[in-house]
Amino acid sequence: MLIVELDTVLKERDLIVKKIKQGDITSDKKSGRKESKLDKIINEPESYIKEYLLNRSIKQIDLMKKYNISINILKKYIKLVKGSVNYI
């Protein structure tokens, strides 16, 4: 009896997975963030990041707390600002 129930559950699981995959293929929507877009960046943090790059007395943790962003987002911002031509 337990084996029969297990087999039924596995078949249902496979069916659900199959439906999800078919739905993903037929859908024209893309999930996730757009390429090369940071969702939280605005001009104000950019100026503070420029100041941080010039004046290392400013700590990364202070910027993170001020703008409520993670270290990974902050590193992406820093990389973006360093890549811009006129950061100095």
- What is the end-to-end Cα distance of the chain in Å, rounded? 73
How many C-beta neighbours within 10 Å does residue 49 have?
23
Residue 40 pLDDT exceeds 70: no
pLDDT band (50, 70, 90) for residue 74: confident
Residue 16 pLDDT exceeds 90: yes
For the whole model, what pTM was predicted? 0.48
pLDDT band (50, 70, 90) for residue 42: low
